[in-house]
Amino acid sequence: MDFVFRRRYRGRLKAVILDWAGTTMDFGCCAPAAAFIQVFNRQGVGITLEQAREPMGMHKRDHIEKILQMPAVAKRWREVHSGAWTAADVERMYREFVPIQLECIAQHADLIPGTVKACGEMRARGLKIGTSTGYNDEMLKLILDEGKKRGFEPDSSVCATMVTAGRPAPWMCFQNAMNLGVYPMEACVKAGDTPQDIYAGLNAGVWTVGFAVSGNMMGLPQGELNALKPRERETRRERAYTRLAEAGAHYVVDGIWDLPDVLDAIDERLAQGERP
């Protein structure tokens, strides 16, 4: 029998890459969903909140195209516009989407409770903090400004328009790692509230953590979430946990306030020679 040397990283974590809407800012991930609904309403093609949320996490142009590809939406489009949608329609809707999204972001810019504390704990561990988002450059600048006002300022921020492709491609994770100067990739964690976040992290070879309650999977601002009857809240929570786990997340927790404990568990696994 032949034996080969297998290299293993046994050090500690070096960086965490966080999403924005639904992860660090905008509890319930409300700003993007509202913007997509407005854009489609302007075309005379109404979409449901569930349809608006389904592709969440992708580059926003790709997100619009994914919604248009849904059979029910494509059917309504043909009825209203007497023909199938085209690439030109996607581009036009994306251009209309941008100013609407900027306005919605400004209305939903509060940090998710626990963000500042969790990031402080991460920095105390010596971790660097990166961020990634399906927003474009202009939107990223706005959320960076709003986040800084509220006490959140990451070390690196990458948006979908800065790389060749957004999620589920791994490029934003790789660019963050380059910006932060960290390697190997198993020393990084990708945390977010959508399956697209998980797919991007897995494709990049990093540890992945899904946030089930604070973001798109639950899809409710904090006040509405707290107003739910306990049984309904738990049912929706379990559904969100299942969806993120099925996407392949190594861990699923309620929100960023739970992340420090997960990082402890990952450090222990790394020390034993485990990889994502």
Find the CATH number of the domain harbouring 117: 3.40.50.1000
Grade residue 259 by pLDDT with cuts at 50, 70 and 90: very high
Q: Is the pLDDT of residue 1 over 90?
A: no
Show which of 41, 75, 107 is a domain's final residue: 107
Task: Give pLDDT, residue 4.
Answer: 79
Q: Is the pLDDT of residue 11 over 70?
A: yes
Of residues 14, 60, 128, 190, which has the active-site annotation? 60
**Containing domain of residue 92, as a range?**
31-107
Q: Is the pLDDT of residue 173 over 80?
A: yes
Show which of 51, 77, 107 is a domain's final residue: 107
Residues 144 and 83 in one domain: no
Q: How far is CA 226 from CA 25, 213, 218, in A?
A: 18, 11, 12
Residue type at position 131? T
Decide: 273 and 10 in contact? Cβ < 8 Å: yes
The overall average pLDDT reported for the chain is: 95
Residues 85 and 187 in one domain: no
Decide: 166 and 160 in contact? Cβ < 8 Å: yes
Show which of 107, 135, 164 is a domain's final residue: 107
Please report whether residue 157 resides in a domain.
Answer: yes
155 is catalytic: no
Find the CATH number of the domain harbouring 49: 1.10.150.240
Model pTM?
A: 0.91
The two tokens of residue 218 are 């639950």
14 is catalytic: no
The 3-state DSSP class for residue 197 equals helix
